Amino acid sequence: MEQTPARLTAKPSWLLGQLAVHAHRLASDGFGGVGARGYHYRILAALDEFGAASQAELGRRSSMDRSDVVAAINELAQQGFVERTPDPDDRRRNIVTLTNAGHRQLRRMDRALDKVQDDLLGPLPAEDRQILTRLLTQLLTHHQRE
C-alpha cells in the first residue's frame, strides 16, 4: 500500500479535494441507480423549493452553465419530470415546471442521496456529522462572498 506524504495529508485543502472526488463518485453511482444524474437533482430540487422558473433562473439557482441546464432540462422533459411552456411575458423564454412524476423522481433521488451521505460519513457519529456540515457551510458561505 502506497503512503501519501504527511505534508499533504495534513492540509485541509488536500483532504477536501480527495474527499470531494470520492463524494462525487458515490453521488454519481447513487443517482445512476435511479436513472438520474447530479444535474437532474439540482434542477428538480430548485423547482421543488422555489417553484416554476425560467431556464436562466434555474441555471443561477443550481450553479450550472446555460448549456448544461438546457441539456438536463431536455432529458428531464423527455422523461416527463418537467414541463416547458413559453413565458407569457416573454415568448423567447421558457418556464420550466415540475410534474408529479418529477416529484416522485426527486423523492427517489433524495433517498439515494441520503444513502450516499450515510456511506460518505459512516465513521462519524450524528453530532460530528452536524458539526462538519455546519463548518463546511460556513466555509462555503465565506468563499462565495469573495
Domain extents for the chain?
30-119
Share of the chain above pLDDT 90, in %: 87
Q: How far apart are CA 34 and CA 116, in angstroms?
A: 13
pLDDT at 87: 86
What is the three-class DSSP state of 85? strand
pLDDT at 71: 95
What mean pLDDT is predicted for residues 36-47? Answer: 96
Q: What band does 53 get if pLDDT is binned at 50, 70 and 90?
A: very high
Q: Which residue has the cell 448544461?
A: 68
Q: What band does 36 get if pLDDT is binned at 50, 70 and 90?
A: very high
pLDDT at 108: 97
- Please provide the average confidence, as pLDDT, over all residues in the chain: 94
Q: Which of 125, 82, 84 is closest to 102 using CA atoms?
A: 82
Whole-number Cα distances in Å, 136 to 30, 46, 97, 139: 22, 21, 31, 5
pLDDT at 33: 96
Q: What band does 1 get if pLDDT is binned at 50, 70 and 90?
A: low
pTM of the model as a whole: 0.88
Contact 51, 62 (CB under 8 A): no
Burial of 120 by CB count in 10 Å (0-12 exposed, 13-18 middle, 19+ buried)? middle
> 38: which 3 cell numbers?
447530479
What is the β-pairing status of strands 82-87 and 53-54? unpaired
* CATH class of segment(s) 30-119: mainly alpha
CA 113 to chain centre: 9
Whole-number Cα distances in Å, 117 to 32, 83, 87: 15, 30, 37
DSSP letter assigned to residue 125 = -
Higher-scoring residue by pLDDT: 69, 91: 69
Contact 56, 95 (CB under 8 A): no
